Amino acid sequence: MNFGYILQNELTLPQALSENALMVHTSEEERLAEFAKRLGEALEFAKINKYGSGILLARLTGKTGKAGNKWVNGESFPRKGNMEMIADRLGVRVEWLEYGVGPMKTDGNVEIDATHRTRRRAPVISDIQAGQWADCNDPLPLGMGDSWEDVPDNTSPNAFWLRVTGDSMTSLAGTSVPNGSLILVNPDTSADSGRLVVAKLTDSEQVTFKKLVIDGGRKYLKPLNPAYPVIEITANCRIVGVVTDAKQKL
């Protein structure tokens, strides 16, 4: 037997280990790249700009911004619980997001184990004055927040919570939204007459929370507290979203 030939054409043990490690590393890189691609598709599906989404995912899961950016850039995988929270927030199936298995969205032909269903949540992005126009500056873009609160399953992915300051929406009878309440604002819901809305002046960052009244083709913002004046909507005012839920939160 020609041992010289074998030595020249077979890998030594250290070489073999090195080659095997390289193959495993490449496979992991491919898995990460495929996951990042699916995550990007899920963000687009949820109408969330990929720019800054790492911070959004980090706030959602309680992790650091660095961790969130690594997920978006395909440098690491979220842990199981975090993967489920992300999938639920983006409205996609966790099996698809994590492994690429099955359809992206849940449909009537897909069964979900209720024990693994995670809660839908939306960010609390700022405070809002319920009185006259007031500044409502927030450094975080839509879809991000310093804290998160549960929302109904059918809530738009663009919805967000605001905390009410003031008593102009406090009423002694009927609907009342007292000082300190959290209101869920849905930008994708039609602003019909009689709905509670958040409105913004187009030439500034001033916003207000009121009841929308449409009468004879004219639009008004009406407080629930009669001690406050009614505001007529002009060309420099737009409806940010409709309030679809409210709750007290200390």
- Report the greatest alpha carbon distance in the chain: 104
Write the burial class of residue 223 (CB in 10 Å: 0-12 exposed, 13-18 middle, 19+ buried): buried
Summarised one tens digit per residue, pLDDT across range 40-90 is: 999 888 888 888 888 888 878 888 888 889 999 999 999 888 888 888 888
- Among candidates 162, 207, 153, 205, which has minimal Cα distance to 185? 162
Domain annotation for the chain: domains and CATH numbers: 13-116 (1.10.260.40), 121-248 (2.10.109.10)
Whether residue 172 has pLDDT greater than 50: yes
Query: Higher pLDDT residue, 176 or 150?
Result: 176
> How much is the mean pLDDT over the chain?
76
What is the CB-side half-sphere exposure of residue 81 using CA atoms within 13 A?
5
Query: Tokens 């842990």 — which residue?
Result: 79
**CB 185, CB 161: distance < 8 Å:** yes
Predicted structure pTM score: 0.53
